[in-house]
Structure 1
Amino acid sequence: MTTEVLAQAADINKGLAAIGYGTSAIGAAIGVGLIWAAVINGTARQPEARGQLMSIGWTTFVLAELLALIGLVVFFIAQ
């Protein structure tokens, strides 16, 4: 009985997985654009804070891309 439940839980529709990956990629792209726009804007307003803004920018960039990578992993698991 437990194997049937696990098999049903692991049986994700492949089309739904592709839509999920596409959504996570679009979300990450929008997030990255907003992150770097804020870094550029902040640097233009206060040039002496460039180093701190860049470190925050790279950290949040990695987090945004991690979401896209998780979406890719889930997509391949569903295959």
Structure 2
Amino acid sequence: MDNLSLVSVASIFTAGLCIGLGAIGPAIGEGLALANAMRALAQQPDRANTITRTLFVGMAVVESTAIYCFVVSMILLFANPFWNYFLQQAGG
């Protein structure tokens, strides 16, 4: 297996690992946040506007981690800085 194949396999594997592990944390965090928000709404229904607004802001912050992992995996797949170097070395 040549170096270009190794770089492509490592990039694909790392991108899959990044998006796979990067989606687990936000999913758990969003589930816990929603469960606690529902519990808070059941205990204090008069504060629904404040709880809902805080929930949406918190979920947006948690979801940004998954979006960053998605961006990193897309960079590894489509804009890998090592591709050009190895293509030049391979004569392509």
Q: Under TM normalisation by the shorter chain, which class is it?
A: 0.7 to 0.9
User: How does the TM-score come out when normalised to structure 1?
Assistant: 0.79
Unaligned runs of 5+ in 2: 1-9, 78-92
Q: Which residue among 27, 30, 48 is the counterpart of 2:25?
A: 27
Aligned to 1:76: 74
Q: Write out aligned runs for 1:55-66 (5 A).
A: 55-66=53-64
Task: Tell me which amino acid in the other structure corresponds to 2:28.
Answer: I
Deviation at residue 20 of structure 1 after TM alignment: 1.4
Cα distance in 2 between the residues matched to 1:38 and 1:50: 13
Aligned to 2:43: 45
Q: Which one has a bigger Cα radius of gyration?
A: 2
Aligned to 1:15: 13
Task: Tell me which amino acid in the other structure corresponds to 1:77.
Answer: I
Alignment RMSD (CA, Å):
1.2
Task: Tell me which amino acid in the other structure corresponds to 2:26.
Answer: A
Cα distance in 1 between the residues matched to 2:75 and 2:11: 11
